[in-house]
Amino acid sequence: MTRTQYALCPLCEASCGLAVELDGERIAGIRGDTQNPFSRGHICPKALGLKDIHEDPDRLRRPLRRRGTDWEEIEWDEALDEAAARIVEVQREHGQDAVAFYVGNPTGHSYSALLGLSALREVVKTRSVFSSASVDGLPRTLVASLLYGNQATIPIADIDRTDFLLILGANPLVSNGSIMTAPDFKKRLQRLQRRGGTFVVIDPRRSETAQLADAHHFIRPGTDALLLAALLRTIFREGWTNTTRLAPHLEQLEALERAMDPFTAERVAPITGIGAGAIRELAQRFGTSRTAVCYGRMGISAQEFGAVATWLIDALNIVTGNFDRPGGAMFNTPAADLPGIARVVGQTGEFARWTSRVSGKPEFNGELPVAAFAEEMETAGEGQIRGLITHAGNPVLSLPNGPRLDAAISKLDFVLCLDIYLNETTRHADIILPPTFGLEKEQYPLLFFSLGVRNFAQFAPAVVPASPGARGDYEIMMELVRRIGARRGGLQSIGTRAVKWLAGRWGARGALDLILRLGPYGLSIADLEAAPHGVDLGPLEPRLPRILNTPDKKIRLMPTPIADDLTRLRARLEEGRRQELTLVSRRHLHSNNSWMHNCQRLVKGKDRCTLLMNPLDAEERGLGDGVRARVQSRTGSIVVPVVLSDEVMRGTVNMPHGWGHDVDGARQGVARKHAGVSVNELVDDARTDRLSGASALNSAPVSVSVADR
């Protein structure tokens, strides 16, 4: 007899509710939970892949140790002891910073991993910390810290109540929102249109979201900051500002207006590819709508002006009065108060307290940008990275200039990976520790419920039992903490015994329960378990000035790092239009970066690893539909089939990311059969947002030619 258990999907920020049909302990089916008040029965195809991951024969379930070119399974105690010993050995011989961390995207989807990683970082005590954040959301969190005094204080587009939505560099019909948790984004946009609202998309590709929009404008990749500055200048000049309500909370409004003076619509138009008249019309619509909100995501963050473009989005919402009010950009009130936790533990987002050893990249909140990762491994001297710990990351495929990273990681003295697959990166490990995953784990989206377009909370117990002897990520990390501390002796040994006691008494679940109880609603895990479909905590509400963490409780509209970086944006304005082909990436509903490609149901069908190219650009280069093209950049060259499409603007080519599974040594059979090529071989790790240090994944200059010439 089958039974139904309710769960949460841990695969993307939407955190959709699931109804899992169980036949004993076997997953018989997965569907959307129609009683979940937030996701309302919506799921995407990736959720069905949870069953495949759980049953995947390629998935690791016991620790592996390298033996030459082969691997052997070993017991947990042996694996943990050896891992701890090697970490301590590398640090004793080469210094604390000689062991690095790299943390991948899935870490953010596991509250237990986040809590365990915090403790592990404390005991390892290295400055060599890297994560996927600096190819993803670093400009967003940095701007939050600079303007509002707290990296966790992130404004969310109130799309359910706005009249006019402007989207740049995002495709939420595929992502379901990013740094904006919004399950079933398509229906939310359709409801916006039914109530008489409109939305406009700015994107170099006519994406799935753009196809639904009331209007779409092509924009040359990497010029979003210029467009936003022109919109802001026009709004200032035409008197479409509305700052009376916010005035007590604002600093440097006049300085912001002066800074926008050079960015006229006429000067910006030929560089962006959007006409001056269209820019002025957009500014008028935004500035005169009853409510409006601007939202931007990866296409904004992952470019050479990522921080300035993100700041300009916030400035546009603030100056027009569409900030901290319904229908504008608002702040969530999460059951687990992340901004409050960040204040208590001192993680509000300090910037540039130190820089990377080789090229001087700035740290943010204790992390260095991944643009410095390879060089810190390659360059000899004090502080050179000689050991590496990864959690749920595949930097060889997910970071710029993957082949360089691949070579650098292969030369390290010791690599420890916490991962469920032997993949393109973990094949370099000395020890792999596989944690439980997906429906085997309790779920509470600690990060993503704090970014929701509505206040909501849900705790989901584990649905299926893990393999005998399996361990969760929190348990693995706390055991490493204990064993590393014991090997160091002295006060660290005493401290780690205390950590072990607390972990045993409280565990990740106990820590989460305490966080919830101290939150604004005083909820407990027991309260949430009594509501298996989740608890609707109401719409977003105004929160100024309580949410601000600046000394004077004011928004710093022109923080010094931003003001200084505007010099670079003005120089870009003087350069005019650039002529080369520009590469941008795309997302697919069936993909989740590189880590869902071993699911047959998600990769089957027509090849998705293709180069979209405007027919006129292709004709100039002798390329046709299906022809194999060679795409080259400073860092690499790949061959990929062409798909002709007028959905990309002239001068732009487009590829998905996360592919390139054709390396020797990995054990992912399905992924290898659908290998594709890695777009990140073309992305130059030297191209960054100079202010934040974030990698410029988008807008990479490339050349394209017929492959067999």
Which residues, including other chains, have CB under 8 Å from residue 260's CB and lie 6 or more apart?
A: 229, 232, 233, 236
Checking phi first, is residue 384 left (phi over 0); if not, alpha (psi -120 to 50) or beta? beta
Mean pLDDT for 396-406 is 96
What does the pLDDT look like over 447-500, one tens digit per residue? 999 999 999 999 999 999 998 889 999 999 999 999 999 998 755 555 555 555
Instruction: Report residue 68 CA to chain centroid gap.
Output: 35
pLDDT for the residue 593? 82
pLDDT for the residue 266? 98
DSSP state of 520: T
> Two tokens at 633?
């950049």
DSSP three-state, residue 578:
coil
pLDDT for the residue 258? 97
Which residues, including other chains, have CB under 8 Å from residue 264's CB and lie 6 or more apart?
A: 230, 233, 276
- Residue 681 CA to residue 531 CA, distance in Å, equals 47
pLDDT for the residue 177? 82
pLDDT for the residue 663? 93
pLDDT for the residue 476? 97
Residue span(s) of the chain under CATH 3.40.50.740 come to: 64-126+369-443+473-534
Q: If pLDDT is split at 50, 70 and 90, which confidence band does 309 have?
A: very high
Contact by Cβ (8 Å): 341, 515? yes
Contact by Cβ (8 Å): 652, 273? no
pLDDT for the residue 500? 53
Residue span(s) of the chain under CATH 2.40.40.20 come to: 579-706
CATH number attached to the domain at 579-706: 2.40.40.20
Contact by Cβ (8 Å): 342, 141? no
What does the pLDDT look like over 103-117, one tens digit per residue? 999 999 999 999 999
Contact by Cβ (8 Å): 35, 4? no
- Residue 84 CA to residue 486 CA, distance in Å, equals 9
**pLDDT at residue 213 is higher than 60:** yes
DSSP three-state, residue 538:
strand
Nearest-CA neighbor of 231 among 202, 205, 260? 260
In sequence order, what are the beta bridge partners of 433? 418
Mean pLDDT of the chain: 94
Backbone angles phi, psi at 486, to 5 degrees: -65, -40
Q: Count helices and strands (H / E) in the chain.
A: 25, 28
User: Which residue's structure tokens are 């601007």?
Assistant: 294
Contact by Cβ (8 Å): 673, 609? no
Task: Characterize the bridge pairing of strands 215-217 and 198-202.
Answer: parallel
Count CB neighbours of 68 within 10 A: 5
pLDDT for the residue 69? 87
Residue span(s) of the chain under CATH 3.40.228.10 come to: 138-334+544-564
Architecture of the domain defined by 138-334+544-564 = 3-Layer(aba) Sandwich (3.40)
What does the pLDDT look like over 604-657, one tens digit per residue? 999 999 999 999 999 999 999 999 999 999 999 999 999 999 999 999 999 999
To 5 degrees, how large is the angle CA 398–CA 294–CA 654?
35
More confident position, 497 or 658: 658
Gyration radius of the chain over CA positions:
25
- Residue 631 CA to residue 640 CA, distance in Å, equals 8
Contact by Cβ (8 Å): 55, 419? no
Q: Which fold has domain 2-55?
A: N-terminal domain of TfIIb (2.20.25)
Report how far apart, in Å, the C-alpha atoms of 74 and of each of 77, 263, 465 are: 9, 62, 21
pLDDT for the residue 346? 87
Residue 283 burial (10 A CB sphere; 0-12, 13-18, 19+) = buried
Residue 109, H or E segment: none
What does the pLDDT look like over 329-386, one tens digit per residue? 999 999 999 999 899 888 999 999 999 999 999 999 999 999 999 999 999 999 999 9
Residue span(s) of the chain under CATH 2.20.25.90 come to: 2-55
Mean pLDDT for 685-709 is 92
What does the pLDDT look like over 221-251, one tens digit per residue? 999 999 999 999 999 999 999 999 999 999 9
Contact by Cβ (8 Å): 293, 324? no
**pLDDT at residue 315 is higher than 60:** yes
What does the pLDDT look like over 519-533, one tens digit per residue? 999 999 999 999 999
> Two tokens at 121?
């970082």
To 5 degrees, how large is the angle CA 314–CA 695–CA 634?
140
Q: If pLDDT is split at 50, 70 and 90, which confidence band does 502 have?
A: low
Nearest-CA neighbor of 485 among 475, 476, 497, 474? 497
Concatenated DSSP letters of 358-411: TT-PEEETTB--GGGHHHHHHS-STT---EEEEES--HHHHSSSHHHHHHHHHT
Residue 545 preceded by cis peptide, ω within 30 = yes
To 5 degrees, how large is the angle CA 416–CA 420–CA 421?
85
Nearest-CA neighbor of 449 among 179, 162, 189? 179
Nearest-CA neighbor of 425 among 461, 399, 446? 399
Buried b (16+ CB within 10 A) or exposed e, 200-239: bbbbbbbbbbbebbeebbbbbbbbbbbbbbbbbbbbbbee
In sequence order, what are the beta bridge partners of 2? 23
CATH class of 64-126+369-443+473-534: alpha beta
Residue 709 burial (10 A CB sphere; 0-12, 13-18, 19+) = exposed
What does the pLDDT look like over 250-294, one tens digit per residue? 999 999 999 999 999 999 999 999 999 999 999 999 999 999 999
Per cent of the chain over pLDDT 70 is 98
User: Which residue's structure tokens are 């393999």?
Assistant: 467
pLDDT for the residue 497? 54
- Residue 441 CA to residue 222 CA, distance in Å, equals 40
Mean pLDDT for 135-156 is 96
